[in-house]
Chains A and B, each alone.
Chain A
Amino acid sequence: MIKKMISCIRENRLHTILTPLFMVGEVGLECTLPMITAKLINALEDGADMSLILQYGGILILMAMCSMSCGILSGWFAASAAAGFSKNLRHDLFAKVQSFSFANIDKFSTASLVTRLTTDVTNVQMAFMMIIRTAVRSPLMLIFAVIMSVNMGGSIALVFFVVIPILGFGLIYIARRAMPLFKAVFKKYDKLNNSVQENVKGMRVVKSFVREEYEKQKFGAASEDVRNDFTRVEKLLAINNPLMLLSMYICMILIPLLSAKLIISSGGTQMQVGDLASLITYAMQILMSLMMLSMIFVMITISGEGARRIAEVLDTETSLQNPEPGVRKLKDAAGRPVELRVPVTEVADGSIDFENVSFKYNQEAKAYALADVNLHIKPGQTVGILGGTGSSKTTLIQLISRLYDVTEGSVRVGKIDTRLYDMEVLRSQVAVVLQKNVLFSGTIAENLRWGDPDASDEELVRACKQAQAHEFIMANPEGYDRYIEQGGANVSGGQKQRLCIARALLKKPKILILDDSTSAVDTQTDALIRKAFREELPDITKLIIAQRVASVQDADLILVMDNGRVVAQGTHEELLATNEIYQEVYYSQTKGGDDNG
């Protein structure tokens, strides 16, 4: 995890190193200041003249200036190092997600990925800056100050060796006890917020059932629960400050006492009054750095959680990869050996073959999502797929463009196993209009050009005409420049589906797959789309998943799926004569029409 994080420093290495270096300068100067000041005061006591004072004063001011410059530079570099670090971290995260296969994407929820890319990275960035600044500063300060005070006060500095362990162990003890409590409380807090979210989202239900009072009681109880837990943690943390004060005051009482004894009994030879003031300054510095250290400890533990979740994404191995480049010896259809250079960079034709294909989403899963599928589809054929929810229609088509890898058997496109293709080549030749399709914020034309960035305006229009989208696009004065809101919120479901089909057509694929992509399109338009496919795109192999029999009944081949298996295949007439499921669906959908003749 830490290694992954460190690798994100990259071009910020110089700034990352300069930050603590200047910090050493700042701390060093800051710690020598009290010593020189002590000299100044002692000189005063001895009745020195003004020139000596000015001399010391000049040195001191110069030192403060240098210390300030070091501080500014250190802060300056720290800012760009930390921001640059988090930039790289976000870049890596995003790039990793881009490399994810469908199986990987299924594993992480959208919300959790967003949190990782924003809140978690921000927390890690804060921790990073803390590590290169404060985590360097505090221990340095501690060490410098201890050395200085030993140097100056001699045995009096022993006081610190009594106080530091007391405070140090105390703080660590509290932090360690508070951490798990904090984590538990935050979980509860999370739950509380989730319940508010539920309430806000379901406000219509709440009001319809007049459940306002009930909701108030529910929330009240949860809120009090959070309060009690939080109060408990904060009461525990309430010991922090008094502990700090106690250590500080022990120093403040013991140091003057011991110093007074030393100064008076030695007649001011071993120590002077000026040293006393400086010793107390060092005491403050030491205790402050201890306090900071315990804070860092807590902060890093908290952001450690975020770092762990970021690493979880970064460590995820992409489950699908391009084949190793090289030459594979295979046998052709007639059984003659042929050599094939992989990854294959061209899809020969739009034929699709499933040989004994079985598939499960998870290695550990007991049941197969898809079992024993054998299919042979010729280029240019139109294939309809019917079946209930959970019959694995979507699973079947996702194997064709290698969105998932088969568990057993093989899927061949253009007579070559999908696993031998360069994935980008395969996917650009197999266009899938997904069931849960998405348009992105941008103009219609921009969205369409996802299919082909270099498409000319004429090509856009042609694809939209084929998908029966041109007409409604032109019905709006802005035409192809109309802005689509995030998720396509400002077009109707049917319009969105037609735009998605046009976008897929622009890829000029050899195989086109529609996964229930015309469910919201009216039957007449649906028929027009199929007519356009038939007449204008005869060479493309078309696979159509649909709920409506009407959408598939004129296909060359219809597959009926049930429970992960292809239970029947044939033409409309054949299936209507022989297949029970097909009959059931067909009659349930056409009965209404008969009634009203």
Chain B
Amino acid sequence: MAKPMPMRGPGRGMAPGGDMPKARKGTLPRVVKLLMEDYKWLFLLAMLLMTLYSLGNITPSIFIKKISDIILGFTKGASWEEARPEILSVLVVMVVLLVSTIVCNFFYARIMAVVTQGFLDKMRKRMFNKMQALPIKYFDAHGHGDIMSHYTNDIDTLRQLVSQSIPRLLQSGVMLVGMLGIMLWYSMNLMLVVLVAVFGMSFAVKHIGGKSASNFIRQQKAIGKLEGFVEELMNGQKVVKVFCHEEASQADFDKVNAELCEAATKATRFANILGPVMGNIGNMLYVLIAIVGSAFITLKTPNASLSGLFYGTFGTVLELSVVISFLNIAKQFTGQVNGIAQQFNSIVMALAGADRIFRLMDEEPEADEGYVTLVNAEELPDGSLREADHRTGVWAWRHPHKADGTVTFERLRGDVRMFDVDFSYVEGKKVLEDITLWAEPGQKIAFVGATGAGKTTITNLINRFYDIEDGKIRYDGINITKIRKPDLRRSLGVVLQDVNLFTGTVMDNIRYGKLDATDEECIRAAKLANAHDFISRLPQGYETMLTSNGANLSQGQRQLLSIARAAVADPPVMILDEATSSIDTRTEALVQQGMDALMHGRTVFVIAHRLSTVRNADAIMVLDHGKIIERGSHADLIAQKGTYYKLYTGAFELE
């Protein structure tokens, strides 16, 4: 089901704790700077056009004053024919000006469409590219929903900022200055009246707007709460039914719902009131100008104006036409102030959104100080290796030595050793302690232990998703911190317990393991993984589209695909994390066969959730609270009658 506004989770995008979303200093300049980097000339051109049409927008009030003057000059006893040329000459100038205003506006809008969408596209790419460089730690520490909201909510507010708020602010600024100029030119006395009204308006904005903002935040919180509640309940809806808990759930929901209703009422209430208050202050100003203007005329109060200075009529009595045009100017002036007030909230929100995007972009990328690389190699007759510029099927570590400037080549074999490794996710809370183990090429090492014993953590260290705190890990004798991360990871295959498939065909998903694999290679890998049979039975075989993480496949089938994906990459070392969810005995046997085929001839680390797979491992490590408490072959450990024995005989839970 498509959503009209994609992924717009209402509770999201708020600062944690729901405080007023505050942007760091320098956020606005940074947005403008990036904008200028991307679209300097187009953006400046757009702003120029906007300034022109904003100025053009003020001109009608000048013309109306001119025409009123002419009319007043001709009223008594004059004929239309006498007045016509004068009026027409004014109107012709007006037509020319206004047509160019329209043209400016049209091109402004078109250019801004290009600039805004282009800028958003670039920002999205910047964010995404940066995100690809971030360490796994970032993704473990941040909720997926939060990361997603950068691409939805925050980009949306940025669009608002670039396409609406910034231009509106500039435009209103230009118009306000322009109108101030006109007012100064005609009458400073009346200008003072206008300024009084503006003062009243900013007072209203501050009070009503401030109340609205704080209630708006409460509303966001309430929506977040309701969303959480609904999500939990909808997930457990079948349990609700089975326990006949419908009425109790409804009562709980109504409570949360009432809270939201109250907060929403207050938030919208103040926002709704702001409009009429501002509008009617504008109306009162209109009246005030009429009264004050007429009072000036009646009382013959001297008028201070720049035009007066210019024409030497300074201090003479106000003309009626000035009052009339002021009525219009005042209306426009308050309209612009109102406009800025309306933008205020969205600018605060947009800057907070932009700031969140920048925080993502400012994250420390995954460091890679490695310099040992994986290269194609060919063997020389004397048994030594040489780098090759084509695929040879032989891989070697290219190891430059800084000390003497030489380069050595070490054949990629898949020998992994850990020495006294310590690790903690949070400083001071050791998750792994004193882990020492070695896996020779072709060996199978199994990790066994309860949830939280540290099984998965060990594999996270081998491919450097996380870095060890103390100790050493060597791959083919090379300290893995010296190996360039992409090369290290390419030499390690991973099958995770939570299978992630991507939108695309089955073939695409297998090929993900090796982008230049031919169809034949992919099919061979699928056969090896025992996946070929079920794939062939899919409606379009290998061309079947998979969506939403392969929702149309069973858990076991997805597992088989992920094995095929690892098989096509053909790495010397594999990390296998067994699936925990219950698949039936037959599919499990298929998956097991596939895994066995994949393991053949490779160094393998298996995280076992069921003991049936462990028996033929070369070494089994029993982990408990981050330490290896037992190690040895299946027979050794059974003979020991320790923890493993208890696990195996079913006295302990494994998962």
Contact = CB atoms under 8 A, between A and B. Distances in A.
Interface string B258-299: 101110111111011101110110011011101101110111
A387 B290 CA distance: 90
A33 B327 CA distance: 12
B68 interface: yes
Given A118-B226, A209-B569, A227-B117, A49 B298 contact: yes
Nearest to B366: A207
What class of interface size applies to chain A in its complex with B?
Answer: 35 or more
A519 interface: yes
A492 B449 CA distance: 13
A578 interface: no
Interface in B226-268: 226-228, 230-250, 253-254, 257-258, 260-262, 264-268
A314 to B, nearest CB: 15
A53 B465 CA distance: 81
A2 interface: no
A115 B12 CA distance: 13
Interface stretch (A86-94, A152-160, A327-335, A338-346): A86-94
Given A118-B10, A216-B128, A205 B496 contact: yes
A253 B148 CA distance: 51
Interface residues of B, number: 174
A522 B652 contact: yes
Contact of B129 (A43, A189, A216): A216
A98 B250 contact: yes
Interface string B488-500: 0110111010001
B522 to A, nearest CB: 14
B293 to A, nearest CB: 8
Contacts of B77: 267
B63 interface: yes
B31 interface: no
Contacts of A112: 1
Nearest to B293: A44
B118 interface: yes
6 contacts: A50-B294, A118-B9, A193-B152, A249-B101, A252-B60, A589-B585
A440 interface: yes
Contacts of A547: 582, 584-585
B328 interface: yes
B257 to A, nearest CB: 5
Given A41-B323, A436-B238, A198 B503 contact: yes
A203 B105 contact: no
What 5 A-B pairs are tightest by C-beta distance, nearest first?
Answer: A71-B276, A75-B272, A523-B650, A202-B500, A238-B109
**Which has the most chain A C-beta neighbours within 10 Å: B3, B94, B321?**
B3
Interface in A208-242: 208-216, 219-220, 223-224, 226-228, 230-231, 234-235, 237-242
Contacts of A120: 4
**Which has the most chain A C-beta neighbours within 10 Å: B261, B328, B490, B496?**
B261
Interface in A129-172: 129, 133
A427 interface: yes
Contact of B261 (A83, A94, A201, A267): A83
A245 B500 contact: no
B627 to A, nearest CB: 19
A99 B243 contact: no
B500 A198 contact: yes
A157 to B, nearest CB: 17
Contacts of A223: 121, 124-125, 128
Contacts of A553: none
A203 B148 CA distance: 13
Interface string A245-284: 1100100110011011101110110000110110011001
A74 B463 CA distance: 64
Contacts of B258: 87
Q: Secondary structure at chain A's binding surface: helix, strand, loop or mixed?
A: helix
B128 A273 contact: no
A203 B139 contact: yes
A311 interface: no
Contacts of A525: 653
B331 to A, nearest CB: 7
A503 B240 CA distance: 12
A525 B94 CA distance: 92
B195 interface: no
B275 A256 contact: no
B314 interface: no
A174 interface: no
**Which has the most chain A C-beta neighbours within 10 Å: B7, B331, B465?**
B7
Contact of B234 (A102, A110, A206): A110
Contact of B83 (A253, A264, A441): A264
A208 B151 contact: no
Contacts of B465: 204, 207
Nearest to B236: A438
B44 interface: no
Given A64-B280, A71-B280, A196-B151, A210 B490 contact: yes
Interface in B565-598: 565, 569, 580, 582-587, 589
A428 B244 contact: yes
A541 interface: no
A97 interface: yes
Contacts of B4: 119-120, 123, 186, 302-303, 305-306
B192 interface: no
Contact of B67 (A123, A187, A256): A256
**Which has the most chain A C-beta neighbours within 10 Å: B6, B77, B233, B280?**
B280
Interface in B615-655: 615, 634-635, 638, 649-655
Interface stretch (A54-62, A353-361, A363-371, A372-380): A54-62
Contacts of A16: none
B236 A231 contact: no
A298 interface: no
Interface string B518-560: 0000000000000000000000000000001100001010000
A126 to B, nearest CB: 9
A264 B75 contact: yes
Nearest to A80: B265
Given A105-B237, A201-B549, A389 B583 contact: yes
A277 B148 contact: no
Contacts of B84: 261
B403 interface: no
Contacts of B569: 209
Nearest to A43: B294
B582 A45 contact: no
A424 interface: yes
B5 interface: yes
Contact of A68 (B70, B280, B494, B585): B280
Given A71-B280, A246-B102, A264-B75, A486 B5 contact: no
A118 B225 CA distance: 11
Interface in B79-117: 79-80, 83-84, 87-88, 91, 94-95, 98, 101-103, 105-106, 109-110, 112-114, 116-117
A388 interface: yes
Contacts of A440: 232-233, 236
A215 B638 CA distance: 47
B71 interface: yes
B287 A60 contact: yes
A224 B122 CA distance: 9
A113 interface: yes
B489 A257 contact: no
A40 B80 CA distance: 25
Contacts of B196: none
B78 interface: yes
B47 interface: no
A64 B284 contact: yes
A564 interface: no
B232 A522 contact: no
B287 A37 contact: yes
A122 B116 CA distance: 27
B512 interface: yes
A129 B287 CA distance: 31
